[in-house]
Amino acid sequence: MKVFDLYAERYDLWYDLPFGSSVFALEVECLKRCGPVEGPSLEVGVGSGRFAKALNVDVGVDTSLELLKIARSRGLKVLMARAEELPFKYQSFKSIFMIVSLCFFEDPLKALRSARRVIREDGKLFLGLVLSESPWAKFYMRKAKEGHPLYSRAKFYSFSEVSNMLKEAGFELKEVFSTLFEEPQDQRPVKNREISKGFHPEGGFFCMVAEAIKA
């Protein structure tokens, strides 16, 4: 997506701002609650590599050359590829991550099917995302209407939509965690660091763990 090339530096620096750095730490903590990262591991939509670095992910792919340059500068092994057409052999990975990226994929179901092809039979898929029921999704959609260059390209899906896509792609949803339980804003550090098991729509960030269904 070319817009990420144009705003790559701005996108990455957001994580150093008061709100960005605090919410990033909370989201990483939520993802770690989902279980250990077993290798080989892949992040689809690796962006500038901050999550991959924090979670010790082996390989990352993205469509933005500028973001991949930043990720590579962090010492990560990355390559350019579309989520819908992952350039890896059948059952190459034990763990696959899609973190705040599903909403930007051209065809999320096709991306999940591509992940299913390259994940092992006993592998796990970890999703970190904002769901449409959340007040945070509504906050970001308002920003999109105001002309925000990145949120205007996002499409937020509901919990049931994502669950159905996972099932259709060959995954079984096993566990969900919710966090970011406070009034939406993007300036001040996050104060509420609660992470709750299950889907709680009043949250702002959700981690979903799915296992590959054996063929």
Confidence (pLDDT) at 214: 82
According to DSSP H, which parts of 80-202 are helical? 108-118, 135-145, 159-169
What CATH number does residue 175 fall under? 3.40.50.150
Domain annotation covers residue 177 = yes
Domain annotation covers residue 38 = no
Confidence (pLDDT) at 150: 67
Q: Give Cα 51 distance to the centre of its chain.
A: 9
Domain annotation covers residue 164 = yes
Domain annotation covers residue 89 = yes
Confidence (pLDDT) at 149: 65
Domain annotation covers residue 208 = yes
Confidence (pLDDT) at 169: 97
The C-alpha atoms of residue 139 and residue 134 are separated, in whole angstroms, by: 9
**How many structural domains are present in the chain?**
1
* Contacts of 74 by beta carbon, 8 Å cutoff, 6+ apart: 48, 49, 50, 53
Q: What is the value of pTM for the model shown?
A: 0.94
Structure tokens at 26: 């909370």
Q: What are phi and psi of 144, to 5 degrees?
A: -60, -45
Each residue's pLDDT, cut to its tens digit, for the chain (215 residues) gives 576 767 678 878 889 999 999 999 999 999 999 988 999 999 999 999 999 999 999 999 999 999 999 999 999 999 999 999 999 999 999 999 999 999 999 999 999 999 999 999 989 999 999 999 999 999 988 887 877 766 668 899 999 999 999 999 999 999 999 999 999 999 999 999 999 999 999 999 999 999 999 87
* Contacts of 186 by beta carbon, 8 Å cutoff, 6+ apart: 19, 20, 139
**Domain ranges, residue 125:** 2-33+44-212
